Amino acid sequence: MAPSNGNQRLGVAAKQVAEHASALTRLEVELAQIELKQKAQSLGVGVGLSAGAAVLALYGVGFLLATIAAALALVVDWWLALLIVTAVLFLIAGIAAVIARGRFRNATPPVPEQAIEEAKLTTEAIKH
């Protein structure tokens, strides 16, 4: 009877190990989903900022044309007024583009790096 009892304990232990491995796998998949969601959100913000930069650049062209009429009444030479307005708008567009590029870098590649590293560590722990 003693060997049978030992086999039962071994079977229970094996079942527990399998359950723990299954739970770890589920948690790693959940971590991967969360990480991909965060990267997708960052990518979305980058796309929004890029669109904002494009709109500001378009407004820059519009202001360039609208300033032609307004600058004629100013004391400053008309070309200088146009140059100042245009430079400020393109500067703002450039800042938005740099921020967008940073967001794109944070979101790419769209691979769940933390989940993969966690899976590797789990595999190593199970092997040893």
Distance (Å, whole) CA 45 – CA 33? 18
CB-based contacts of 106: which residues, under 8 Å, 6+ apart?
Answer: 39, 42, 46
pLDDT on residue 19: 87
* Contact call for residues 62 and 93 (beta carbons, < 8 A): no
With 0.75 as the threshold, say if the pTM is over it: no
* Contact call for residues 78 and 71 (beta carbons, < 8 A): yes
Closest CA to 62 of 84, 79, 86, 91: 86
Per cent of the chain over pLDDT 70 is 91
Q: How many domains does the chain have?
A: 1
**Pick from 43-52, 63-72, 88-97, 99-108: least confident:** 63-72
| Residue 1 clears pLDDT 50, i.e. is over it | no
Find the domain containing 65 and state its range: 2-127
Per cent of the chain over pLDDT 90 is 23
Q: Could you tell me the CA-to-CA distances from 94 to 24, 88, 99 in Å, in that order? A: 45, 10, 9
* Contact call for residues 92 and 54 (beta carbons, < 8 A): no
* Contact call for residues 20 and 125 (beta carbons, < 8 A): no
pLDDT digits (tens, 9 = 90+) for 32-84: 899 889 989 999 999 999 999 999 999 998 887 687 668 666 678 877 877 87
